[in-house]
Chains A and B, each alone.
Chain A
Amino acid sequence: MTFQERSALAMTSILVLVFGWYFALVIGEIAKTPAREIAYQGLMVPVVILLVILAALAHAVIAIAAPAQAGSQDERDRLIGLRGHRIARYVLATGTVAGLGLAMVQADTFWIAQVLLGTLVIAEISDGATQLVLYRLAT
């Protein structure tokens, strides 16, 4: 695996774990509390801090495991990265329109925030997953 492929694998796994935990907690609260009363803002900050710490640790481990490759990127890595970003762009556009739609029908801020955050997360996961598939296909 190249440095970039390991990085994509680490980031995709971390995103799934961290935001899987976040959404499980937040969605779990809906059954017990009205949406507008759920204090999701207080959970978003620690989740983002956890994400940054895990990402930094994962990249440090990847770099230590293969110091010569650390941060290296060649033309194939860039091409695969661009293809992943292109898929993520469609997801972002769709989610943004969904968020705008919720704002237009005056949905709770809670739901607008969850849709926008979910869109960001799914876009990043789509980006990483696309890159991993392309690396495995040896593109």
Chain B
Amino acid sequence: MTKPTKIANRITTLRATASQMSQAQLADRIGVTRQTVNAIEGEKYSPSLEVAFKISRVFDVPLEDVFQYPDELPT
């Protein structure tokens, strides 16, 4: 019923480099629950574009430094 998203991300790494920011702190800054940040990090949930942009702005990096999508789509 549920398939993991194909969108990969570097949020865990970015949080670690941003003064060990916790999932809860990131969640507060982007206006979602900690569980949603956990699901995004675990690549089980693809955030909306708005939340994706908010995350990239929190870490002050371009969107593609946070989220990556495979070059070749499966056939």
Could you tell me the distance in whole angstroms from the C-beta of A37 to the nearest C-beta in chain B? 45
B14 → chain A closest CB, angstroms = 20
Interface size class of A (residues with CB under 8 A): 10 to 19
Take A137-B44, A138-B45, A139-B45 as given contacts and tell me if A77 and B2 are in contact as well, using a CB distance cutoff of 8 Å: no
Instruction: Pick the contact of B2: A1, A5, A137 (CB < 8 A).
Output: A137
Asked whether, in the complex, the Cβ of B31 is within 8 Å of the Cβ of A138, the reply is no
Using CB atoms and an 8 Å cutoff, list the residues of chain B in contact with chain A: 1-2, 31-33, 35-36, 38-39, 42, 44-45, 47-48, 51
Query: Could you say which of B1, B2, B39, B42 contacts A76, with CB atoms under 8 Å apart?
Result: B39
Q: Nearest Cβ in chain A — how far from B47, in angstroms?
A: 7
Answer whether A75 and B36 are a contact pair too, CB < 8 Å, given A138-B44, A139-B44, A139-B45: yes
Interface string of A118-134 (1 = CB under 8 A from B): 00000000000000011
Please indicate the chain B residues that have their CB under 8 angstroms from the CB of A106 in the complex: none
**Which residue of the partner chain, among B39, B47, B51, contacts A138 with CB atoms under 8 Å?**
B39
> Is there an interface contact between A74 and B2, defined as CB atoms closer than 8 Å?
no
Contact, CB under 8 Å: B2 / A139: yes
**Which of chain B's residues have a CB closer than 8 A to the CB of A5?**
35
Hey, what's the 0/1 contact readout for A62-83 against B, CB within 8 Å counting as 1?
Answer: 0000000100101111000000
Please provide the 8 A-B residue pairs with the shortest distance between their CB atoms, ordered closest to farther: A74-B32, A138-B44, A76-B36, A138-B39, A137-B2, A2-B33, A139-B2, A2-B35
Pair A74/B39 contact, Cβ less than 8 Å:
no
Tell me, in angstroms, the Cα distance from A133 to B45 when the chains sit together.
14
Residues of A within 8 A of B1 (CB): 133-134, 137
Q: Which residue of A has the minimal Cβ distance to B28?
A: A68
What are 13 residue pairs bridging A and B, where the CB atoms are less than 8 Å apart in the complex?
A2-B33, A2-B35, A74-B31, A75-B32, A75-B47, A75-B51, A76-B32, A76-B39, A135-B35, A138-B38, A138-B39, A138-B45, A139-B2
User: Which residue among A2, A72, A75 has the maximum number of chain B CB atoms within 10 Å of its CB?
Assistant: A75
